[in-house]
Amino acid sequence: MAGTRTNKQPETTPAPAFILVEPQLGENIGAAARAMWNFGLEELRLVAPRDGWPSERAVAMASGATRVLDQARVFTATAEAAADLSYIYATTARPRELTKLVMTPEAAAFDALARIGRGERVGVLFGRERTGLENHDVIAANAIVTVPANPAFASLNLAQCVLLMGYELRRAHLAATDPRPKQLYETGDGAMATREGIDGLYDHLVGELDQVNYFWPEHKREAMAASLRNLLSRAPLTDQDVRMLRGVVRALAEKPRQRG
């Protein structure tokens, strides 16, 4: 649909960081950037783009949305791209054998803007063009976003998925009134823990559990550790919660203190 007016001031939408995980083609990155700027979204993060960065093909496909590409940040791994975020939505069409909150794009948009309004840093993960997100990406997220599409043909291409999330975020932003709850749970007054903080807690806990051979039998270690990681990702942990839990892990790992 045509409708660009170059004499209009750009309107931005309070929104999560959009993280493209290992995008394969520059054209797809450009199309995603164009979809973002259609709805006033600016923060694009790229994880290990296959064909390198910057990309002339991305610029050509962006069709005027080069502002988004010029500001794009490139990371080598998903964990690095999400380290400063406290809540992450993973977009996926495939069912996962995980206990994880599942949202529609509409519900995720309202939830994301409520979190941003409370000062949280949030992000949305978009997967590879051919295979989508890997399980370890989804496990590290707090919630899953799934489109109620045709079950026989549910996979969206990268730009379509970005466009759909952008539209819902813009619509939520412009909504004059919203009778639905703005949050799924109370978070208290503490700042929400970042992904980096959760990762540190997980590494600390797994390291101590390894010391006491908790992960047994050995062939189940990976699945047990993934379940633990998924549990920590689901929980609405604050920075204070993470510090307290790391203190608990540390105390349990040390020798008992002498009292008296």
Q: How confident is the model at residue 14 (pLDDT cuts 50, 70, 90)?
A: confident
| Residue type, position 158, single letter | L
- 35-195-46 Cα angle (round to 5): 35
Residue 190, pLDDT > 80, answer no
Task: Give the mean pLDDT of 155-168.
Answer: 94
Residue 6, pLDDT > 70, answer no
Q: Alpha-carbon distance 67 to 54, whole Å? A: 13
Average pLDDT along the chain: 88
Residue 38, pLDDT > 90, answer yes
All CATH 3.40.1280.10 domain ranges in the chain, comma separated: 17-174
CATH class of 17-174: alpha beta
Residue 253, pLDDT > 70, answer yes
Report the pLDDT value the prediction gives residue 200, as an integer from 0 to 100. Answer: 94
- Among the ranges given (55-59, 72-76, 158-162, 252-256), the one the predictor scored with the smallest mean pLDDT: 252-256
- Among the ranges given (63-67, 85-89, 114-118, 174-178), the one the predictor scored with the smallest mean pLDDT: 174-178
* Contact call for residues 126 and 89 (beta carbons, < 8 A): no
